[in-house]
Chains A and B, each alone.
Chain A
Amino acid sequence: AQSVTQLGSHVSVSEGALVLLRCNYSSSVPPYLFWYVQYPNQGLQLLLKYTSAATLVKGINGFEAEFKKSETSFHLTKPSAHMSDAAEYFCAVSPPANAGGTSYGKLTFGQGTILTVHP
């Protein structure tokens, strides 16, 4: 079974500082990986996704993530935090190719990381 671990349930940074949100996955073969953001009382918005093409993935709002197979990681970064980045961030995996069975379309999410940005 696939799983996702997000290290740190809360991360606090100053405006203009580097944002680093950590995500590690467990899968026998490289899965497809996603980062979503959730603002209070809203649904999830896709930031970026990795689908076995380039290992460095650029997303919206200046975010990017690097897939590292050797470390089974997919950490999310942004060079300079903005106040509007304050939200909860979720890393997710979907079944790799040939998964079959009842796992079609299933996204498995991490527990989330709340990002706070201080002025």
Chain B
Amino acid sequence: DAGVTQSPTHLIKTRGQHVTLRCSPISGHKSVSWYQQVLGQGPQFIFQYYEKEERGRGNFPDRFSARQFPNYSSELNVNALLLGDSALYLCASSLAGTSARGGSTDTQYFGPGTRLTVL
């Protein structure tokens, strides 16, 4: 079975531009999460989507937005790019967004990431 796929693998943009990153989850998974990993740091949570609805949001500015499509794939959009947005953007999929009580034991399976460089 195919794992989580992301496109493109690498991207170079200039400050002020807009970027769209794409993610396809593992077949049967209904939840997609996005993380930003700056060089030398651990991934930082950006969003989680489940059944096309935003279920979680990290501490990122409104320049970051995302959506999930009926086939459960997802896009991450970043407007007005800054140099500090340069990072590896990771997508993760899981079966469901959360347990009924709020915590989640679902394993998140990560894709290979999109390396974004902002010049």
Residues of A within 8 A of B (CB): 4, 31-32, 36, 41-46, 49, 51, 90, 92, 94-112
CB-based closest 3 A-B pairs: A109-B42, A105-B48, A43-B110
Give bound CA distance, A71 to B109, whole Å. 29
> In the complex, which residues of chain B have a beta carbon less than 8 angstroms from the beta carbon of A110?
42
> In the complex, which residues of chain B have a beta carbon less than 8 angstroms from the beta carbon of A51?
105
Majority DSSP secondary structure for residues of B touching A: loop
Contacts across chains A and B counted by CB atoms under 8 Å: 94
The answer to whether A95 touches B104, judged by C-beta atoms less than 8 angstroms apart, is yes
- Min Cβ gap A41→B in Å is 8
Interface size in chain B (residues, C-beta < 8 A) = 35
14 additional contacts, CB 8 Å, given A46-B107, A99-B103? A43-B111, A90-B42, A90-B43, A94-B103, A97-B101, A99-B102, A100-B102, A105-B55, A105-B94, A105-B106, A107-B92, A109-B44, A111-B41, A111-B42
Selected from A31, A44, A45, A104, the residue in CB contact (under 8 A) with B98 is A104
- Min Cβ gap A50→B in Å is 9
Closest to A53 in B: B105
A-B contact pairs, 18 of them (CB 8 A): A31-B103, A41-B112, A42-B112, A42-B113, A43-B112, A44-B110, A46-B107, A95-B102, A95-B103, A96-B102, A98-B101, A102-B57, A103-B56, A104-B102, A105-B98, A107-B43, A107-B108, A109-B42
